[in-house]
Amino acid sequence: MNAPRTGLLITFEGIDGSGKSTQATLLGARLAQTGRTVVSLRDPGATEVAERIRAILLDRRLTGLSPWAELLLYEAARAQMSEEMIQPALAEGKLVVCDRYYDSTTAYQGYGRRLDLEQVRQANRIGSCGVVPDATFLIDVELAYGSRERRVSRTGSPGLSATGRSGAGTHSRHPG
């Protein structure tokens, strides 16, 4: 059972290159200026176990990963982050700002991989350990804008494509 919570969970969602990571960082910094303790996280990630799972998910050499296995890996990483980071922070009255959360899983694995949406919702409830965001900001930009911004962030020049990837948010499975 979840501990009583006095903190807030704020999540940011949006396509790759939409600016959600930047906005999450800016909000976290602004909230910290008010004297509140802010915990900034990315999903998947934030803990040693979740970062290892993230590495598996973003490994382009793993081409045969089942959509269901992919879903469960995201949920496993989220469960670890929730139990280790989110729940304790919320119980201590901290503000948690998270770059992605289960809405991304619904979008990428549910709609994108065409998995049964009710099963994805159930998996999200399990993976989040029942922790629901208090507020979610959806950064809604045109797909072409997000793709351009992603190319710029990876190459330093607009309009150029890059074969590698750097950091979060550059893999088609579920950017994290």
> According to the model, what pLDDT value does residue 141 have?
87
Q: How high is the pLDDT of residue 171?
A: 36
Query: Across the chain, what does the average pLDDT equal?
Result: 85
Residue 32 has which token pair? 């910290």
Q: Enumerate the domain spans of the chain.
A: 8-155
| Euclidean distance between CA atoms 7 and 103, whole angstroms | 20
Give strand pairing partners of 10: 97, 135
Q: Within the chain, which residues score under 50 in pLDDT?
A: 152-172, 175-176
8-155: CATH number: 3.40.50.300
Q: What percent of the chain shows pLDDT beyond 70?
A: 80
- Please report the DSSP string for 16-69 in residue order: TTSSHHHHHHHHHHHHHHTT--EEEEESS-SSHHHHHHHHHHT-TT-TT--HHH
pLDDT at 142: 82
